[in-house]
Amino acid sequence: MDQPVSSHAPLPGRDPVLSRRSIRRYTDAPVDDALVERLLRAAMAAPSAGNQQPWRFIVIRERATLAQIPEWHPYAKMLPSAPVAVVVLGDPGDAKWKTLWPQDCAACVQNMLIEAELLGLGAVWLGVHPLPEREAALRELLAIPEHVVPFAIVPFGWPQARKEPSDRYDEERVHHERW
């Protein structure tokens, strides 16, 4: 059951990995630049193949820009009400491991989601890559160069309600030694 959010403080005693949930409804309270920097620092602390760090980011606060994305992204209806969103992009460029950039970017998105939970923020992962129509629409909207691939959009805000953790452990999915 959803619980009302009473403060913008970190949530003491909650494991941010096990308590993280997708949050799609936010209050009107702003998310300041210092918190966005913490989210980006967490993203950039993620592991990457050969330490290539192929990620790039676009921070979006403009309401008009956020409002355009749900026109082509069917799961982005919360974006117009989010105080801020971070677009995660992959730039394989001179990377030694050019095919591993999606895993690298996935790790940085997960780090941001965990940091958001730790800070008491709500967030949700909106997939873009590998869907060509979403990649093209985001590339056009944000003037992203052709060699850079839009990977995901992550809106952040103070949750209207906090969801209880969900225990998703399933012993039937675990194998030992062999399948």
Query: Each residue of 136-177: pLDDT tens digit?
Result: 999 999 999 999 999 999 999 999 998 888 889 999 999 999
Contact indicator for 54, 48 with CB cutoff of 8 Å:
yes
SS3 call for 49: helix
Look at residues 139, 114, 136, 113 and name the one whose alpha carbon lies nearest to residue 126. 113
Give pLDDT, residue 8: 53
* 117 pLDDT more than 90: yes
Cis amide prior to 130 (ω within 30 degrees): yes
49 CB neighbour count, 10 Å cutoff: 17
Q: Structure pTM?
A: 0.89
Q: Is residue 88 predicted with pLDDT exceeding 80? A: yes
For residue 12, pLDDT over 80 is answered with: no
pLDDT-derived band at 6 (thresholds 50, 70, 90) equals very low
Does 94 or 40 have the greater pLDDT score? 40
CA distance 168 to 178: 22
C-alpha dihedral sign at 142, 148, 149, 151: negative
Contact between 102 and 151 under an 8 Å Cβ cutoff? The reply is: yes
Domains of the chain: 37-161 (3.40.109.10)
SS3 string, 125-176, reads CEECCCCHHHHHHHHHHHCCCCCCEEEEEEEEECECEECCCCCCCCHHHCCC
Q: What is the dihedral of CA 129, 132, 136, 137, to 10 degrees?
A: -80
Rounded-to-integer distance, Cα 14 and Cα 44, Å: 23
